[in-house]
Amino acid sequence: SCDTECVGDTKKQPMSYCMVNFVVCQLFALVTAFWFRLYLHPSKTSPFIRHVVATLLGFYLALFCFGWYALHFLVQSGIAYGVMIFTSVEHMHKYCFVVTLGYLCFCQVTSAYVFDYGMYSADFTGPMMVITQKITSLAFEIHDGLMKREEHLKPSQKYLAVRKMPSLLEYLSYNCNFMGILAGPTCSYNDYIAFIEGRWYEPKHLESNGKENGKFKQSDPSPKRDVIQKVCTCALSLMVYLVIYTICPTVRIIDDTFMASNPFYIQVFYLYISMLALRPKYYFVWTLADAINNAAGFGFNGYNTDGTPKWDRISNLRILNIEFATSFKMFLDNWNIQTALWLKRVCYERCPYNPTAATFLLSAIWHGVYPGYYLTFITGIVVTMAARAVRHNVRQHFLGSATLKLIYDVITWFSTQMAICYTVVPFVLLAVGPSLKFYRSVIHLHQYVSIPGQALMSLTPAVTDSPPLTDDQYLSCVQANKQNCLSSPHNNWLLDPHTAL
């Protein structure tokens, strides 16, 4: 196991022993997933057997990767299940949220400060973050299913609501199955149970037209093509990360010699390249996790217009949309999608006071105790608010022609990439000292941004000068947002009717 072997500075070693261990386990899970789909198919095997095998394989991978630290997965899940069973359904979701998140924070503190600071390349708290998402999501879904009336639930909440308490086996299988134990992604409990019981494809067939329904009803759609594409994406992402990030590590941006010997524009270009080379590490982890679930038959999301199956139900990112994002919102919409959905469902939709700030705060707490995380998400709140204001004031002036729209897209793409780099660097550096040193090194960036920004803002009235929405306009915005929710389950949880454009 890697709990005693992972030594050295992980920020200087792009591929540590722990990460090799993790990759080997995920490749084993990928092969096992094909076997699980073919030989333990729901038509051949009972749900009980599928639950048992998925859970035992998950525990084996966890023990292999993290040693006895993997027992924390069982302890966290066991405590939360006890809360679900022995407390009233009326308040159970709140208790589960506090207990589960509190246990995660306790483990993160011990991992960061009791053991080795910065040793996060294959930290055992990583899987606990996903388990925390699953437990808290399930607690709210049980509360919605057993306590709330149907008419008080939103359409998405009706679909997610759990109408009976899960058995211990179902609960452990959902939290610790081999497909998602190491890297997720998070999924809804109802979707997972439908997959185990073989009901996963039925609603998707009903969504298709009669011809497609007849064509595909006789056999399950094959994930082979999508799995191959995702594995190739993983290989390319890993190669880019190992080659380019080794040459351009983020920590060099705060090196005194580097800052003194390079002009401002070279530092900005280096920062962009470094962040560009860092993202493929996440592309690799999340895309491989998605491929594992697809290989097991989980993640089917209906058919494309040409009749080919879609396997993006639990995908965690859309790479092209991330790299060519022209707004902070677009970047967030396509990055870590399942975590964004979790934040939306357990916090943003339910928090009565300042849900945007509360959501960013929860995201920071969930990520860990390193100060850099909090600096990143506090900065994210400011950037989000600023992006809303600028878009509200400026965008309409560039919609008159295709040329102006292209100019606007180029400017906003560059601004978005710089905003992401500026926001995310503390997340990578982790500590306060290096993060503040980075902020000081780029403080003059505000001079380059603020002058054209003030010029653009002066062309238009302030947001507060806009007339309030009439009742009809407000209802139209609400209906439009609801339609977006139904057509795209990953729609942005940061957008409300008063900021919709």
Residue whose C-alpha is closest to residue 281's, from 332, 337, 243: 243
pLDDT at position 390, please? 79
Look at the block and give the residue holding tokens 């897209």. 409
DSSP secondary structure code for residue 303 in this structure: B
Check: CB of residue 253 under 8 Å from CB of residue 267: yes
Q: Is 367 a catalytic residue?
A: yes
Q: How far apart are CA 281 and CA 238, in angstroms?
A: 6
Which parts of the chain have pLDDT scores under 70?
A: 1-17, 115-122, 202-218, 443-501
Q: Is 304 a catalytic residue?
A: no
Q: How many residues does the chain have?
A: 501
Residue 29 identity (one-letter amino acid): A
Of 336, 393, 491, 492, catalytic: 336
Q: How far apart are CA 8 and CA 427, in angstroms?
A: 20
Angle between helices 445-458 and 402-429 (to 10 degrees): 140
Q: How far apart are CA 413 and CA 330, in angstroms?
A: 10
Residue 469: Cβ within 10 Å count: 14
Element (H, E) at 81: helix 71-86
- Provide the whole-model pTM: 0.82
Cα dihedral 252, 256, 260, 265 sign: positive
Q: Report the chain's mean pLDDT, rounded to a whole number.
A: 82
Check: CB of residue 428 under 8 Å from CB of residue 278: yes
pLDDT at position 489, please? 41
Residue ranges of the alpha helices (H) in 148-296? Answer: 155-160, 168-176, 189-197, 202-207, 210-216, 224-240, 246-247, 256-261, 264-295
Q: How far apart are CA 356 and CA 374, in angstroms?
A: 15
Q: How far apart are CA 168 and CA 362, in angstroms?
A: 28
Q: How far apart are CA 28 and CA 239, in angstroms?
A: 20
Q: Residue 356: which residues within 8 A CB-CB, separation 6 or more? A: 348, 381, 384, 385, 494
Of 367, 393, 491, 492, catalytic: 367
CA distances to 165, 315, 320, 385 from 391, in Å = 45, 28, 22, 10
pLDDT at position 470, please? 47
Q: What is the CA radius of gyration of the chain?
A: 23
Look at the block and give the residue holding tokens 């058919």. 303
pLDDT at position 357, please? 87
